Amino acid sequence: MATEILDARGPDRPPLLERPGGPTGPGPIRHGDDGGGPSFAFDPGQFAIWAFLGTVSMLFIGFTSAYIVRRTGADWRALPLPRLLWVNTIVLLLSSAALEVARRRRAALDLGGLRVWL
């Protein structure tokens, strides 16, 4: 966890310009070498996470549409929402917020603040 935050490229990424399969990101373009597809300069990991979020969204769209179809059934009974649900939601939101603050502390190179918020 901590290593990932300290090095945004993650432990898998070598610290140089090279990425597995050849670099594409920003950096000096070396002619004749594998220097960069210039048109898109995303971090591959970040890009893949966004693509995966698309997949997960489709999964939830599937479940949601099933829910919408199924709730029209005559036997449908709405479940009472347990209080724990709200507690969980608040805890989740708070932890997300804390993680985001920690990320900003790291960006500001405030390691003490980072440790506090983590």
> Residues interacting with other proteins, by CB under 8 A?
11-12, 14-16, 18-22, 24, 29, 31-40, 42, 44-45, 47-48, 51-52, 54-56, 58-59, 61-63, 65-66, 69-70, 73-76
Write down the least CB distance from residue 15 to other proteins, Å: 8
Q: What is the dihedral of CA 60, 61, 67, 72, to 10 degrees?
A: 170
Write down the least CB distance from residue 96 to other proteins, Å: 23
Write down the least CB distance from residue 60 to other proteins, Å: 8
Considering the complex, state which of residue 59 and residue 90 has its C-beta at the smaller distance from other proteins: 59
Write down the least CB distance from residue 47 to other proteins, Å: 5
Spatial separation of the C-alpha atoms in residues 4 and 96, rounded to whole Å: 16
**Can you give the length of the chain in residues?**
118
User: Which sign, positive or negative, has the C-alpha torsion 87, 90, 96, 102?
Assistant: negative
Burial profile 54-75: b = 16 or more Cβ within 10 angstroms, e = fewer: eeeeeeeeeeeeeeeeeeeeee
Considering the complex, state which of residue 33 and residue 100 has its C-beta at the smaller distance from other proteins: 33
Considering the complex, state which of residue 24 and residue 114 has its C-beta at the smaller distance from other proteins: 24
Considering the complex, state which of residue 62 and residue 96 has its C-beta at the smaller distance from other proteins: 62
65 token code pair? 């549409």
